[in-house]
Amino acid sequence: MPLSCLSPGPEKRPLEAMLTSTAVVALAEIGDKTQLLAIVLATRFKRPVPIVLGILAATLANHFLAALVGEQAAVFLDGRWFRYLVAASFIVMAGWTLIPDKFDEAEEARPARFGVFVTTLISFFLVEMGDKTQLATIALGARFHSVVQVMLGTTLGMMIANVPAVFLGNALIKRVPLNVVRTAAALLFLAIGLWLLAETAGLM
């Protein structure tokens, strides 16, 4: 089966890559430790605009690298086993999404000399390393073989989740039914994983 079943290519379905990436990350980010970090930064600095810009810059950089890793892995590891691995990663992410995150303020970079924007950029970039939204971006990069669309979609998803958190803070988290959001995100990850399994097995 050709690699195209794993990665339809940006020239064919760029909108699908972007919208899927947006939905996956926007749901997965609700209650995630990076969203909790956004709330902590907003509470500490009370300057939402540089915080939002710092989150945007950090996410673009982090998710560009993550999507690039996923795309390159798909190029160099062209094989049925790799497509099964990507499908399995989405299914694993479905289970991980159901586990609530906790944010340790000790992980956060101290404000010190750097100012709000740079502090947000550095701390957000570091906390996002190894986070489920970053790993989801890698898997999406491998799935769609489209760095720009995946990066834009996942970044948009991060901003959809985090901009309200910066402006509304803990009030947002208290009003959002996190269990419902986590379940929806898990079901979306699971659906993508099962769909890719079916494609790879030649059932679709």
The whole-number pLDDT of residue 76 equals 80
Report CA torsion sign: 30, 31, 34, 36: positive
In whole angstroms, give the CA distance from residue 66 to residue 114. Answer: 26
Query: Helix or strand or coil: residue 105?
Result: helix
The whole-number pLDDT of residue 83 equals 84
The structure tokens listed for 109 are 């970079």
User: For 80, phi and psi rounded to 5 degrees?
Assistant: -60, -40
The whole-number pLDDT of residue 2 equals 39
> Quick check: 157 and 22 in contact, CB under 8 A?
yes
Residue 28: closest CA among 190, 199, 198, 204: 190
In whole angstroms, give the CA distance from residue 139 to residue 145. Answer: 10
**Which parts of the chain sit beneath pLDDT 70?**
1-12, 102-113, 170, 172-174, 203-204
Residue type, 16: E
> Quick check: 45 and 111 in contact, CB under 8 A?
yes
The whole-number pLDDT of residue 10 equals 40
The whole-number pLDDT of residue 3 equals 37
In whole angstroms, give the CA distance from residue 66 to residue 135. Answer: 7
- Burial classification of residue 72, based on how many CB atoms lie within 10 Å of its CB (0-12 exposed, 13-18 middle, 19 or more buried): middle
The whole-number pLDDT of residue 110 equals 53
